[in-house]
Amino acid sequence: MKTNIKKFQNPEFYFNRDLSWIEFNKRVLEEALDRSLPLLERVKFLSIFCTNLDEFYMIRVSGLMEQIAAGITNIGVDGLTPHETLNQISIKVSELLKTHMNCYLNDVLPQLKENGIEISNYDELTIEEKNLLKQFYLKEIFPTLTPLAFDPGRPFPHISNLSLNLGVRIEKTTGERHFARVKVPKNLPRFININSIKEKFNSGQKVSGTLRLTYLEQVIEANLETLFPGLHIIDSYRFRVTRDTDIEIQEDEADDLLKVIEENIKQRRFGAVVRLEIEEELPPQILNILKKNLEITDSSIQILNGPLALGDLISLYDLPFHQLKFKPFQFAIPRVFEEQKDIFSAIRKNDILLSHPYHSFMPVVNFIKNASEDPDVLTIKQTLYRVGSNSPIVESLIEAAENGKQVAALVELKARFDEENNIQWARRLEKVGVHVVYGLIGLKTHCKVTLIIRKEKDGLQRYVHLATGNYNISTARQYCDLGLFTCDEDIADDVVELFNYLTGYSQQDNYKCLIVAPINMREKIKELIQSEIDSHKKFGNGYIIIKVNAITDPDIIQMLYNASCEGVRIDMIVRGICMLRPGLKNVSENIRVISIVGRFLEHSRVFYFYNNGNPRIFSGSADLMERNLNRRVEVLYPIKSRIIGNYIYNNILKLQLSDNVNARILDKDGVYHLVKPSDKDEIIDSQDMQIGAAHDLISWEPVRLRIGKV
């Protein structure tokens, strides 16, 4: 493609990727700070903030530390070195951790107490409660504990990743002092229900009123003498370790990829320590023991001044306090599935789009289930990335193989933190005769595609499902994703070629309508942008909308800058990382970027090009990141149905661009500003309105929501 592309290489044109991610997690924390949200929803966001940060340190911070250790001083496209990036991360994270802990201790905890959930420190409990907890401890906790000593005859114990620990100083009768470590068990509830313990040890007498909870680690700490009888407990301190878990796999040297990944997962627990969290200032003696044996410096230490591991707060969300959560809603099912005798006749009638979680995921589950049972179905092929531990879809694939159908499954073993689940599923699938493929060397298979081949009276018919999200029934209730059912011949031809590429040696690089990474996606996206530039030069109405989770690819960013300079209006809905800098004069002044963080996780990817009134719309699995475009198998599929195209434009894209409840707009300095309605504006909560729209649209008649001008 020959175009006069300007090169935008000034570091001032780009935000730093990792600092942009921290801004995203800040937006997650802001949801926890929002007092207008139901209380347990705020608790959930406090938890998500912590688990997000854990993964960030395990992957991104560990990578920066490795670069620094290797002496890498390369300056990124944003102008920062790894060392400079790490320093800024430390400053920004420290500020957020203070805000997070203040919110938990001084806002959420008192609010929980007012609403019947009291989380107390152990020393705040009554003598009666402490005595009951002692009984509970001896019966249910003490047998699971393993104190590990550290002295000249016993090496420093291994501290596992993300484990909560007690560092204990003990003194023998001889006056000798030693250090010991006690791991807080992960398989016990972090928050101990005092009410249920009272019922258990008081002959089943029901306890009414406020639900009383306390911390597991504090109960253990109060009873340490049982672990060290005959010794004096000087003091104890809580600490937590985060390790590098970004496993590296030499696929080209692996005879058995499954075994190699299994071995790498085992090695994760021994990765280098990248963070030590402590609850308060430690005595120099203990701190020096930890620093020396964990091989860390002061820069890797975080002092939280409150409970550690607050990702465990998510367990509170399961408490039966429904009035403290969002009002539940009923998932819609398009009426076409009820009007047609079976799912295959419904798909033959028209393309069908599902917008999750507003539409039920059950049509997708039933699609595979019916295929596994239908005697006319000959073949099922599917990609599996993150399917979860209890997957009805994989169970249906197993049933299909047992029913004699030809089943092929591409199970991506390199799906980070889902490797163990996927290994187990792969073994079960292989055991029943499914053709299991583990992906292509050097690439992750991230696309979400299913192909079903069915024998019908007029020959073989191909049914396809393409999606932006995983085949995971749990995340489908929380993630905003799109899925398309179709019998389109060109799409089906392309999907057949795609599976030949994934399972065989096909080098097909000329797809009819699918856009496939790493084969042609980068160039096709650039061509679509250039086409909109050309259309704008001719008609003056160029317009692009891009909805993704992240944009970090400098090549694509430069292409969008070029479009902006040519006058094309660009709206971007970017949930997470955004390295593109909007609003810069003579660079990106025609680009607007918003982020939506709300009740559900925005996860769908949509690419809209106005094309002088004949829109080109694509959806799929790919974000605008180098890894997606270069190192993953991704698919963008065209939306050919005008009704579905109208739905996506009006009831997803245009609606979200008008959101004034969950949306934050990014300025040229990297600051996100919450969009607030004026007294005269209609309140537009795009996620809440899509709940209603999903039910309004179950007949797939295009409905235009009253959302004003974008």
Query: Which residues, listed in sequence order, are joined to residue 665 by a DSSP beta bridge?
Result: 594, 673
The answer to whether residue 697 scores a pLDDT higher than 80 is no
Per-residue confidence (pLDDT) for residue 260, from 0 to 100: 52
Per-residue confidence (pLDDT) for residue 251, from 0 to 100: 44
Provide the 10 A C-beta neighbour count for residue 400: 25
Alpha-carbon span 677 to 700, nearest angstrom: 30
Per-residue confidence (pLDDT) for residue 695, from 0 to 100: 72
Per-residue confidence (pLDDT) for residue 259, from 0 to 100: 57
Alpha-carbon span 407 to 460, nearest angstrom: 16
Asked if 291 contacts 264 with a C-beta cutoff of 8 angstroms, the reply is: no
The answer to whether residue 462 scores a pLDDT higher than 80 is yes
Per-residue confidence (pLDDT) for residue 203, from 0 to 100: 59
pLDDT > 70: what percent of the chain?
92
Q: For residue 224, is it left (φ>0), alpha (ψ between -120 and 50) or beta?
A: alpha
Per-residue confidence (pLDDT) for residue 644, from 0 to 100: 93
The answer to whether residue 62 scores a pLDDT higher than 60 is yes
Question: Is the pTM higher than 0.85?
Answer: yes
Q: At what angle do helices 17-33 and 82-103 cross, to 10 degrees?
A: 0
Third-level CATH fold of 336-503? Endonuclease; Chain A (3.30.870)
Structure tokens at 57: 């340190």
* pLDDT, average across residues 258-264: 52
pLDDT tier for residue 543 given thresholds of 50, 70 and 90: very high
* pLDDT, average across residues 285-302: 94
Instruction: Please name the residue that has the structure tokens 């009383």.
Output: 212
Instruction: Please name the residue that has the structure tokens 């308060």.
Output: 280
The CATH number of domain 515-696, selected from 3.30.420.40, 3.30.420.140, 1.20.1740.10, 3.30.870.10: 3.30.870.10
Is 12-324 in CATH node 3.20.20.140? no
pLDDT tier for residue 678 given thresholds of 50, 70 and 90: confident
Per-residue confidence (pLDDT) for residue 414, from 0 to 100: 65
Alpha-carbon span 236 to 637, nearest angstrom: 57
pLDDT > 90: what percent of the chain?
78
Range in 89-98, 251-260, 298-307, 424-433 the model is least confident about: 251-260
The answer to whether residue 168 scores a pLDDT higher than 80 is yes
Higher pLDDT, 508 or 586: 586
Burial class (CB in 10 A: 0-12, 13-18, 19+), 478: middle
158 is catalytic: no
Asked if 210 contacts 193 with a C-beta cutoff of 8 angstroms, the reply is: no
The answer to whether residue 252 scores a pLDDT higher than 70 is no
pLDDT tier for residue 649 given thresholds of 50, 70 and 90: very high
What is the per-residue burial (b if ≥16 Cβ within 10 Å, else e) of 242-281? Answer: bbbbebebeeeeeeebbebbeebbeebeebebbbbbbbee
The answer to whether residue 40 scores a pLDDT higher than 60 is yes
Structure tokens at 542: 């160029």
Same fold, 12-324 and 515-696: no
Higher pLDDT, 129 or 389: 129
Q: Which sequence spans correspond to the domains of the chain?
A: 12-324, 336-503, 515-696
The answer to whether residue 243 scores a pLDDT higher than 50 is yes
- Residue among 356, 446, 465, 603 flagged as catalytic: 446
What's phi and psi for 433, nearest 5 deg? 95, 10
For 73-93, what is each residue's pLDDT tens digit?
889 999 999 999 999 999 999
Per-residue confidence (pLDDT) for residue 289, from 0 to 100: 93
